[in-house]
Amino acid sequence: MTGPDAPAALRATGLGFRYRTRGAPPLRDCGFTVPAGHITALVGRNGAGKSTLLHLAGGLLRPRTGEIRVLGDLPGSPRARARVALLTQDKPLYPRFTVADTLRMGAKLNPAWDQPAAARIVEEGDIAPDARVGELSPGLRTRVALALALGKRPELLLLDEPLADLDPVARGDLMATLMAEAAEHGTSIVLSSHVLPELEQTCDWVLLLRDGRIALSEDADALRDSHVVVTGHLDQADSLDGPPGPEGAARRHTVVHRRVSGRQLTALVRRRGLLRGEWHVEPAKLEDILVGHLQADATAGPTTAGARAEAAA
């Protein structure tokens, strides 16, 4: 089903998970919705819980609290298994199988198997069909794993840093293949990655994890529209707080991240309404926005007093 009533690609409520080890749970009280039909960038710093979230969505782990649904179904249910493909970082494949055996297995296990699509991805990597999977380089194994995932013709494709071990040319090619796949078949894709410039051109939804919680689940264009990078004299930092008083609160800007150099303040601001003060204002690139929000925990604090103390130090 497509359209406004279509079930979300991912929907989580009160989602929490912890491994049977000490330490803070990687995911706490996560609530978010990723509408169907988007290419979603799942970002977060190392250890933020991206793989854990994808494993929960793929049905490899079960939530400790709350729930997550994929295309309206519980992960691991027969309907979800038929419609969702997950490519994990370890890319489990049978090393003794040849590439052709691997695709034959995909055809046997998946009723909607698309052999031409899977074969094309393998051929574009110049991989011989009779090569054993265990003898391929990690990058070529990634290509075979992606062929298996796309050949399934899933409605939702979950990819955990899928392109990390591919050369730049192969990365570009496979990214283009993923985009074409999404455009042609309406496939929803959730892709975790640290390569932010690449996400700028490809992703139209952002899911950002920070401190075990969802800090952003938002349309990428809406993020670009609402964020700006401002530069100006530190003395006017108060003006970034928006109009004073309770009525101004609704129009208060949020300083997501700030950097002080001498008397100059540069800040990533989520603005509500007009900015007061003499600021040089530039549009924020998606990469700036993501980096700013990833850093936000380290720089949380009052815009003005905190910045002045930094400058005085």
Ligand X SMILES: Nc1ncnc2c1ncn2[C@@H]1O[C@H](COP(=O)(O)OP(=O)(O)OP(=O)(O)O)[C@@H](O)[C@H]1O
Binding residues for ligand X, per CB under 6 A? 19, 21, 26, 44, 46-52
Shortest Å distance, C-beta 214 to ligand X: 13
Residue placing its CB nearer to ligand X in the complex, 17 or 205: 17
Residue placing its CB nearer to ligand X in the complex, 52 or 303: 52
Residue 30: closest CA among 14, 41, 9: 14
Shortest Å distance, C-beta 48 to ligand X: 4
Residue placing its CB nearer to ligand X in the complex, 114 or 160: 160
Residue placing its CB nearer to ligand X in the complex, 21 or 201: 21
Reported as half-sphere exposure (CB side, CA atoms, 13 A), residue 270 has a value of: 14
231 touches 194 (CB < 8 A): no
Shortest Å distance, C-beta 266 to ligand X: 27
| Distance of alpha carbon 186 from alpha carbon 98, whole angstroms | 31
Residue 237: closest CA among 279, 273, 271: 279
Residue placing its CB nearer to ligand X in the complex, 25 or 72: 25
Residue 154: closest CA among 124, 128, 181: 181
Shortest Å distance, C-beta 24 to ligand X: 8
Shortest Å distance, C-beta 202 to ligand X: 18
| Distance of alpha carbon 262 from alpha carbon 312, whole angstroms | 9
Residue placing its CB nearer to ligand X in the complex, 56 or 122: 56
Write the CA distances from 136 to 12, 152, 172, 288, integer angstroms: 37, 22, 20, 37
Shortest Å distance, C-beta 268 to ligand X: 22
Quickly list DSSP for 150-198: HHT--SEEEEESTTTTS-HHHHHHHHHHHHHHHHHH--EEEEE-S-HHH
